[in-house]
Structure 1
Amino acid sequence: MAAGAGAGLAAAFNAPLSGSAFVLEELIRRFDLRNAVAALGAAGSAIVAAQLLTGPEPAFALAALPFPDPSDNLLCFALGVVAGFLGVVYNRVLLGALAISDRLARVPAELRGALLGAAIGALAWFAPSLAGDGEALIQQTLDGAYGLGVIPLLYLLRLVLGAASYSSGAPGGIFAPLLVLGAQMGFFFGGLWHPAAADPIAHAISFAVVGMAAFFTAVVRAPLTGIILVTEMTESSTLLLPMLAACFSAMAVATMLGEPPIYDSLKERTLAFSETRPG
């Protein structure tokens, strides 16, 4: 299971180290030599096979970013606080959507899926980049394609539709949707606070990269995985210190608010559901 999880994450995001880190940090939660070797080997071979089909390019194309100055490092502590609060909101919205789905269990799943699919299909018809897993939306955010006035609306739209899609029971995950929200949050924050920045757009893009790692950390509570994942997906290591600062405060805030990691909550929900099933 550890090998499969590491390989799947590595191949999906072209990120072999983060696949292995996720297994050790989140799934196993300890360094076990046997499982570490399995995860690393599977992630490495998965990347080799995937790159034969898709090429070696990173998941996101990112222009060269300037090294952050000390004020940006301090701002990233504040960004992490925001990410911590919003991560708690995300977890509760997702679990709330699942609870609503449970209460609608008498409605045929096909009907619920058709209604939700129709709504998302209409969105995809008029704005294709806003639907799907969100990789195109992340790339557009990293390109600075959206004004600050639009970002909050996109954030709310993706938050609601992402939770609704996950609660439908259709196969899907939360990794890519998390990164979308983190990028939008960081871009908006960096666009609002750019003291003495020579290029405000580049400043906002830098914070979008940091925001992905911080929001992932707040929700999943796996900071090393978040930092490595974003670094591998963007092939940019200039923001490691800001990411460390933001992930620290994001994890601290989410933990102090008493919100468990999302995968812990989902596991408890699955176990409770299995115990109530007859037989």
Structure 2
Amino acid sequence: MARTAKKALDELSRPGPHTVLHGDLGLVGLPGLVLTPRSGLGLPAVAFGHGWLQPPQRYRGLLRHLASWGFVVAAPSTYRGPLPSHRMFATDLSTALDVCVNVRLGEGEISVDPKRLGMAGHSFGGGCAVLAAAVDERVRGVATLAPSEARPSALDAARRCRMPGLHIAGGEDRIAPSAGHAEPLAHAWAGPTQLRTIGKATHLGFTEGRHFTDLLLDGKPQRVVHRLTRGLLTAFFLRTLSGVRDYDALLEEDIRGCPIDFTRGAPTTSCVR
């Protein structure tokens, strides 16, 4: 049954029905986290890219939330230094999807459908997710949080991204303000695309917990930002990777504190075949 946008947000910002397992990507040669439902075959999977200098543990709540809604989520912990390689981290994001698809997770009770793969990321990781999606034909949806430009250019890569894209900016972000990053990225996107701004979000509002970079970068973790991003990303990936339409209103309507700034094509388009 279809929900209103408010009802969909209320539901999707709470943990889903699945018990979550936590794992270590390092066991298969790629440092990072992997979170999964306890069991399930043919599940969708999302590779998540961390922000500049950030450990993936700063997004554990978001990763756990997506896993509770039935997604396998892998977050590499590579390229966390001050001068990271965008190109190489993008490769690691695709490698994380390879792991999800080719390695039977859990106690052999979890598998991933290679036709139900997505990318997401914050800041540096958002730009790298775009680079990866542009060359990885398996990717069916991309979500970015306060994305930053990359080298090679994420804007150029966006012109080759024909899958749906959801781009969320922070209205008080002074590190990657929307006008110079998320907005041009959304306009350059080749496929269906949507840009939203969380009015009170700072750059670090999307992160969780404490870290030394709180002294270097703008902002701090914000609960209202976590609630909105968890709901929106869950709705987006349920639609694009699983074909679930019950929460479409959340992707089609303004919600308090996070209006739609720009949209082209059907934002709820599914790439599920």
Q: Which has the larger radius of gyration?
A: 1
Larger helix percent: 1
Larger strand percent: 2
Higher relative contact order (CA 8 A, sep 6+): 1
- Normalised TM-score (structure 1): 0.31
